Chains A and B, each alone.
Chain A
Amino acid sequence: MENFEPVIIAFCCHYCAYTAADMAGSQRLPYPANVKIIRIPCSGKVDALHIIKAFENGADGVYVAGCLEGDCHFKNGNEKAARRITYVRNYLEEIGIESERLMMVTMSAGMGYRFAQTATEITEKIRKLGPSPIKIAIAQ
């Protein structure tokens, strides 16, 4: 696992984070290629099963990016997502995966800068944590 490049899955809500990613692109703000985006209509659509599947496939980190508090396009999807993330984090600990590898972040559609910054910070954080124990186990 030398030259470790983390693989991070970002489930991005269409109305905020995904647009913010677009914005980061049009503002020419670079962010690490480690972050792979999967678009969902609302962060409330993120399925616990898909998060777990991402880890099972070898993801080193996963984050769900939704709208700012009170700004959800569908009323309260981001709040539901936040509760689900807490639930799945506990499950990850049970499995033996550090719960810090799963995060919920929020941003508005205009925050291209925040998107790029969050992606960079999370990549650095996961880089420090090292490869996920599952990835190590798969490699063996």
Chain B
Amino acid sequence: MITAERKPLDELIEYVKPFKRILLLGCNECVTVCAAGGRKEVGLLASGLQMALLKSGSNIEIQQHTLERQCDPEYVEELVPMIDGTEAILSMACGCGVQQLAMRFKNLPVFPALNTKFMGASERQGVWAERCQGCGDCVLGITGGICPIARCAKQLMNGPCGGSTTGKCEISEDVDCVWQLIWDRLKSLGQEDRYVDIMPAKDWRSGGGSGPRKIIREDLAE
């Protein structure tokens, strides 16, 4: 899923300060799952903004709502009847949701309340870790199911750098060296010989290197 974290309150206050009435919009998908932009966080942020603004002497009306998904136009359409009088939207979705709103409501300023972080998996309650960078040409089949692009600071494709010590990455002792993980895994799969195969230089075009990407399913697309 896509993970995100709320932006500092000060930054958000700057966004919404000029307005008298805003819509604070949550999303019931990924950002709910990573506890950053669901109904609960919408409530918390609305109260927090309200109080911070009240302190500085301004008053603002904050309407709260949460969509099933902000990245689909049909769900966004639900906002139309309630958007009357709204001067701006503060979106608690990932960047995709924010842009979807901006596309739909041409005359309304739309601001992000979150910093969208990464595609990650949950390690345990309350902990999410980066796992994929969407390179468009998945190598997990060769690397024992562990991604050297998302999980190596240098995105090395053919074994570790010289900074790998006792299984840890040189950037921090808390970070596993992904190549150690890959090696351990290949070993337990009995596929050590995979490790010596040289991976050719990666073609980054599929990873966005040649501009914005798009997927079109001919059979579905109208």
Identity of the chain B residue whose Cβ is nearest the Cβ of A137 in the assembled complex: B54
Give the nearest-CB partner of A56 in chain B: B47
Residues from chain B with a CB closer than 8 A to the CB of A94 are: 8-10, 48, 52
Within 8 A of B (CB), among A48-67: 48-49, 52-53, 55-56
Cα(A96)–Cα(B40), bound, Å: 21
B57 at the interface (CB under 8 A from A): yes
Residues of B within 8 A of A95 (CB): 9, 48, 51-52, 55
Rounded to whole angstroms, the CA-CA distance of A140 and B52 in the bound complex is 14
Q: How far, in whole Å, are A133 and B50 apart by their CA atoms in the complex? A: 13
- Please give, as numbers and ranges, the residues of chain A lying within 8 Å of B9 by CB-CB distance: 94-95
Shortest C-beta distance, A55 to chain B (Å), equals 7
Do A134 and B54 touch (CB < 8 A)? Answer: yes
Total contacts A-B at CB 8 Å: 42
| 0/1 interface trace, chain B 111-151, chain A, CB 8 Å (1 if under) | 00000000000000000000000000000000000000000
Cα(A52)–Cα(B40), bound, Å: 12
Give Cα distance in the complex from A137 to B60, angstroms: 14
Residues 77 to 122 of chain B near chain A (Cβ within 8 Å):
none
Query: Bound complex: CA of A128 vs CA of B9, how far in Å?
Result: 27
Q: Residue A1 at the B interface, CB < 8 A?
A: no
- The docked-state distance in angstroms from the alpha carbon of A56 to that of B61 is 14
**Residue on A nearest B126 in the bound complex, by CB:** A83
Q: Helix, strand, loop or mixed for chain A's interface?
A: helix
Residues of B within 8 A of A140 (CB): 57
Give the interface size bracket for A toward B: 10 to 19
Q: Within 8 Å of chain B (Cβ to Cβ): is A74?
A: no
Contacts of A53 in B (CB 8 A): 47
Q: Which of A49, A52, A91, A96 contacts B55 (CB 8 A)?
A: A96
**Distance of A77 Cα from B9 Cα, bound (Å):** 29
Quick one: which of A24-43 are within 8 Å of B by CB? Answer: none
A55 to B44, CA, bound (A): 12
Alpha-carbon distance A133/B40, docked complex (angstroms): 24
B207 interfacial contact with A, CB 8 Å: no
Question: B43 — which chain A residues lie within 8 A by C-beta?
Answer: 49, 52
- Closest B residue to A140 by CB, please name it: B57
> Are A133 and B55 touching (Cβ within 8 A)?
yes
CA distance A94 to B55 in the complex (A): 12
Tell me, rounded to whole Å, the shortest Cβ–Cβ distance linking A77 to chain B.
14
Q: How far is the CA of A55 from the CA of B55 in the complex (A)?
A: 12
Residue of A nearest to B40 (CB): A49
Partner of A97, one of B8, B40, B44, B51: B51
Q: A95-B51, A138-B54 are in contact. List 4 more A-B contacts (CB 8 A).
A: A49-B47, A52-B44, A96-B51, A134-B54
Contact residues of A with B, CB < 8 Å?
Answer: 48-49, 52-53, 55-56, 91, 94-97, 133-134, 137-138, 140
